[in-house]
A = this chain, B = another copy of it.
């Protein structure tokens, strides 16, 4: 088995390689996991030893088949637990991430499969992120940043790329919740702020920075 720490490294590499391409640098990992680069180097050697990553000195790391599977399993658990916390225990979507960071390390196949059924085999977590299946496959729909849209375009909010509590609370307060329908009214050339209509009801203007972190399906 892998330790909590090893699992967290694998998860970090998983998320970083999804975002940034394939090879993940020591420094990027050290930032996301909040350790020093020296510590990361130590761990990369160890994970390579265990054949969970391939690692070339001074180049970076990529997950192997088996490393990716381990990482996907952790992400699956994280997201299923988030669904549980929101759907069953009534937490808000901005309150569940930290708790899920702990729950994702609970080690029982049986548990997670029963939980999956108990929750009704959900395909997405409370933030719109797709839940990997038990084989680790992810079915990700193509999503667009609101900042990429032009006036007249429509879309429904299907995800966010920023998960901080303040950001999620802001969205909640503004009515920018998962599933909301957006129509782009105007994009200000000066700073890129976007004026849009939510569910054909409420007009709101958001900064480019906010627009970049809201993902819609067209």
Contacts and interface: CB of A to CB of B under 8 A. Distances in A.
**Number of chain copies forming the complex:** 2
Contacts of A98: 108
A118 B89 CA distance: 7
Interface string A164-201: 00000000000000000000000000000000000000
User: Quick one: which of A99, A110, A111, A115 has the most chain B CB within 10 A?
Assistant: A111
Contacts of A106: 99, 102-103, 106
A114 interface: yes
19 contacts: A85-B111, A88-B118, A89-B111, A89-B114, A89-B115, A89-B118, A90-B114, A91-B110, A91-B114, A95-B110, A98-B108, A99-B106, A99-B108, A99-B111, A102-B106, A102-B107, A102-B108, A103-B106, A106-B106
Interface of A: 85, 88-91, 95, 98-99, 102-103, 106-108, 110-111, 114-115, 118
